[in-house]
Amino acid sequence: MSNVSYYTEEGLKKLKEELAHLEQVERPRVSQEIADARDKGDLSENAEYHAAKEEQSLLETKIAKLKNVVANARVIDESQLDTSKILIHSIVKIKNTVNGMEFTYTLVADSESDVRNGKLSVNSPIGKGLLGKKVGDVAEIQVPNGIMKFEVMEISR
């Protein structure tokens, strides 16, 4: 099943660079580890060989998943987005209505998410709760420890 994800040009470039690194650097390294372990003799009792084979399996799974993400990625033309409501790649300033704390986030695809740097996944509870809201709206969002209320202060690109 393919899920289309939307990225900035920079975000898609990073994904492609990670995929290239896994295929061109990590895959040959793991193959060499398998070859080195195989040269040490009896494979049935060779822990290095089995560890390298396990690492290869995990690496190939990661490569396959990343290839699928890249194949289904679309670059967003941010100039065409509606700036009156919150969408992916919106920069939003919100205020917690209970304690008055203000936060600024950019809503991004899952793989670009980095909360410490203000990049919030659109698939996170808060991201989902903010999508479609306009300035002045209050979003009531179910989070693991209850319901939070955020007022949308600003929306930009």
CATH number of the structural domain spanning residue 46: 1.10.287.180
Listed residues 75, 91, 107: the one ending a domain: 75
Is 96 in the same domain as 60? no
* pLDDT above 60 (res 89): yes
Q: Are residue 23 and residue 82 in the same domain, yes or no?
A: no
Q: Are residues 103 and 127 in the same domain?
A: yes
β-pair type (91-96, 5-7): unpaired
All residues at 6 or more sequence positions from 105 whose CB lies less than 8 Å from its CB, including other chains: 91, 92, 94, 118, 119, 120, 126
Q: Are residues 48 and 23 part of one domain?
A: yes
pTM of the model: 0.63
Q: Tell me: do 63 and 127 sit in the same domain.
A: no
Token pair for residue 151?
């007022």
Highest mean pLDDT pick, 8-12, 27-31, 40-44, 124-128: 27-31
**125 and 142 belong to one structural domain:** yes
Same domain, 43 and 84: no
Mean pLDDT of the chain: 88
Q: What is the mean pLDDT of residues 97-113?
A: 89
Work out the angle between the directed axes of helices 47-71 and 27-38 (0-180°, nearest 10): 160
Examine the domain organization and report whether 26 and 41 are in the same domain. Answer: yes
How many structural domains are present in the chain?
2
Shared-domain flag, residues 97 and 132: yes
Tell me, yes or no, whether 84 and 136 share the same domain.
yes
Distance CA 141, CA 150 (A): 8
- Whether the CA torsion 51, 55, 56, 57 is positive or negative: it is positive
**Both 49 and 97 in a single domain?**
no
Instruction: Indicate if the pLDDT at residue 1 is higher than 50.
Output: no
> Which residue range(s) make up the domain with 130?
78-156
Smallest CA-to-CA distance from 108 within 118, 94, 122 is with 122
Residue 42's contacts (CB-CB under 8 Å, 6 or more residues apart) are none
Q: What is the CATH number of the domain that holds 151?
A: 3.10.50.30
Q: Could you give the CA distance from residue 94 to residue 83 in angstroms, rounded to a whole number?
A: 15
Structure tokens at 24: 């061109």
